[in-house]
Structure 1
Amino acid sequence: MATAAEDLIDRRRLRRKLSFWRMSALVVLALAVVAISLVAGLPGQGAGGRDQIARVDIHGTVTENERLLRLLDRLRTENSVRAVVLSIDSPGGTTAGGEAVYEAVRKIAAVKPVAAEVGGTAASAAYLIASGTDHIVARRTSIVGSIGVLFQYADASKLLDTVGVEVNAIKSAPLKAEPSPFAPAPEAAKDMIRRLVMDTYDWFVSVVAQRRKISLDDARALADGSVFSGRQGLANKLVDAIGGEDEVRRWLESERNVRPGLDFVDRKPEKDGFHWPLFSAARSAIYGALGLDPAAGSLQEAVFGQIGHLDGLVSLWQPSQGRVGLQ
């Protein structure tokens, strides 16, 4: 009986030891995952400190994205980043957002080469961003241009009359809160908005003329809201070359003396800040499986997008329309 009791005690001790080591192994594994996530998410880590060409996506609606701006500023000072490439596929967005990213791109260009690789579209504010680079490469069938500014407002006064709703206001001045959706816009309000739009438009055109090295008159002729294919853009000096990554590499190595053979490394705001890369990857996978935008930062953005949240002046080209395609 004593032997049986001792065997039982030994088995219990063994089970406790096994449980301890199993738990220890799980803890070590969890710590390793956390450590890898933190190292992957630390600023300036990039591809293990190796020299690289950093590639940053500019896609969807352009806004004043603080995380993107922080990433661009970080790439400007990161020694292992020998050049920056903006991979652009965007119909544009807010004028303030385009201006902010444009200025960040120009700061990068002051210290290292920066180029734009246009995918499907670089229009309006997205083209403004592309013009901030030193070399624009597009596909033959890419869409570029739509240089211009837009201010839209609704007039729901007829609808309110129909349902019998009257909206009254006491204002400090006639142009305060004009144009209003509750009444037809007075001519003075239209003139005010027109001056606002044209002031921003003139600045946009001057930027294009300066950056693309064309006359102000030529830039203004192109800035009637028209969009152009990549080939048309090349003929109109809105694009520097036709191609993709290989053409960008050729320019960097032959024209800007970037060391041959460097890897293009995708750099994303989520991975270059103090975030959880594994969580971001899981979120993107779930959004993608549901048919939503995997790059969205929130469920609201994934479902509704950012179009409905653009206030003020925008520089946007047909966000809900299709692309030019070959069938």
Structure 2
Amino acid sequence: MDTTMDDQMPQQKRKWPYIAFVLLFLWLFALMLSSFISLFAGIESDSLGGNVAIIPVKGVITGDPGSGLFDEGASSEEIVKLIEKADRNPGIRAIIVEINSPGGSPVASDEIAQALKKTNKTTVAWIREIGTSGGYWVASATDHVVANRMSVTGSIGVIASYLDFSGFIGRYNVSYERLVAGKYKDIGTPFKEMTPEERVLFQNVLDDLRDNFIDEVAANRGMDRKDVERLATGLFYLGSEAKGLGLVDELGGRGEAIAYIEQKEGIKAQVVKYKPTPSFVDILQGAFSEQSFHVGQGIGDALVEKGKTS
């Protein structure tokens, strides 16, 4: 046996922890550097100029502010802040809400819609691929709605659902022991079948929400309430059909939205995009969650490959 090779093997093994530490340090440094760049690159400044603000409303509309850089969804809290920021900026003459949303929370949708109605600026909704339900609620609150002819919009209505596990747990001899202080305290629980009375109560709430939705669209669009009610079946429409129904003012995209503003305001549009500026902590949280997945995946792949070759 070669004693020289035997002496070298322990030395090589001792080097691996140091190499791993250096690689980990370099990875963390690169992550921190990219986070700082993302933080400062994402800052929107009023001093950068622009007289037309574009505010994205993308994904499911919720009231949650979001917890990280890579969260998907449209937070009403963040969007309302951006609308108010654009409204306070004397250089901004108009606001375009870029909508690509299937809707979401009625409360969150209404919060965005009310913020748009309160602004003193010209407002335009630009529906890209989808602007349905709460997404259309937001669009209807603007002065002018532009949609692609093949986009999907409308879907005026309200939906709620729940899972009923009562039959499933009964099959496995599991019982639901009901302990409540208040007749309807466990209404909607998935562990018991909903009673006819409870179903009526739920339906009444949904009907009230639908009525509010209809009232808002009718008022926002200047339409007769009966006409909106006939459309409020939950059905969605292509942009071309929605225009014929009075839900959309113009077919097109960003260019048409800007052209409308230029004609109405008598300006040459200079667009600036308003978007939430994540905190440094938000960026780190998002980056770590995203990168940790890939790192974990890489380790797993390496172990699998090692198992194949051993």
What is the TM-score with the length of structure 2 in the denominator?
0.73
SS in structure 2 at match of 1:151: coil
Q: How far apart, in 2, do the equivalents of 1:88 and 1:162 lie?
A: 46
Unaligned runs of 5+ in 2: 1-31, 64-74, 295-310
Q: How far apart, in 1, do the equivalents of 2:180 and 2:42 lie?
A: 54
User: 1:60-99 CA distances to partner (integer Å, 9 max, x unpaired)?
Assistant: 1011222222222211111222211011011111111111
The structure with the largest helix share of the pair is 2
Which residue among 268, 272, 293 is the counterpart of 2:275? 268
Give 1:258 shift.
Answer: 4.4
Superposed, which structure 2 residues align to 1:246-285 within 5 Å?
Answer: 246-255=255-264, 257-260=265-268, 262-270=269-277, 275-276=279-280, 279=283, 283=287
Superposed, which structure 2 residues align to 1:90-239 within 5 Å?
Answer: 90-108=101-119, 111-239=120-248
SS in structure 1 at match of 2:175: coil
User: 1:184-214 CA distances to partner (integer Å, 9 max, x unpaired)?
Assistant: 1011111111111111110100111111111
What is the TM-score with the length of structure 1 in the denominator?
0.69
Q: How far apart, in 1, do the equivalents of 2:144 and 2:150 lie?
A: 18
Q: How far apart, in 2, do the equivalents of 1:175 and 1:49 lie?
A: 55
Query: How large is the Cα RMSD of the aligned pairs?
Result: 2.8
How many residue pairs were aligned? Answer: 247
User: 1:252-294 CA distances to partner (integer Å, 9 max, x unpaired)?
Assistant: 1112x1411x2222211126xxx349948x949x68x98xxxx
The amino acid that maps onto 1:104 is: A
The amino acid that maps onto 1:167 is: Y
Instruction: Rate the CA distance shift 1:258–1:63 in 2: closer, same or farther, 3 A.
Output: farther
Q: Quick check: 1:84–1:114 contact (8 Å CA) kept in 2?
A: yes
The amino acid that maps onto 1:74 is: K
Instruction: Rate the CA distance shift 1:39–1:89 in 2: closer, same or farther, 3 A.
Output: closer
User: 1:156-180 CA distances to partner (integer Å, 9 max, x unpaired)?
Assistant: 0010011221111222232222022
Q: Quick check: 1:123–1:143 contact (8 Å CA) kept in 2?
A: yes
Q: Quick check: 2:112–2:138 contact (8 Å CA) kept in 1?
A: yes
The amino acid that maps onto 2:273 is: D
Give 1:34 shift.
Answer: 6.7
Q: How far apart, in 1, do the equivalents of 2:243 and 2:106 lie?
A: 24
The amino acid that maps onto 1:151 is: A
Runs of 4+ in 1 over 3 A off after TM superposition: 33-40, 276-280
Give 1:36 shift.
Answer: 10
Q: Quick check: 1:119–1:138 contact (8 Å CA) kept in 2?
A: yes
Q: Who is 2:95 aligned against?
A: 84
Q: Quick check: 1:139–1:243 contact (8 Å CA) kept in 2?
A: yes
Q: How far apart, in 1, do the equivalents of 2:38 and 2:196 lie?
A: 61
Q: Quick check: 1:37–1:277 contact (8 Å CA) kept in 2?
A: no
SS in structure 1 at match of 2:93: strand
The amino acid that maps onto 2:179 is: I
Q: Who is 1:41 aligned against?
A: 43
Q: How far apart, in 2, do the equivalents of 1:119 and 1:229 lie?
A: 11
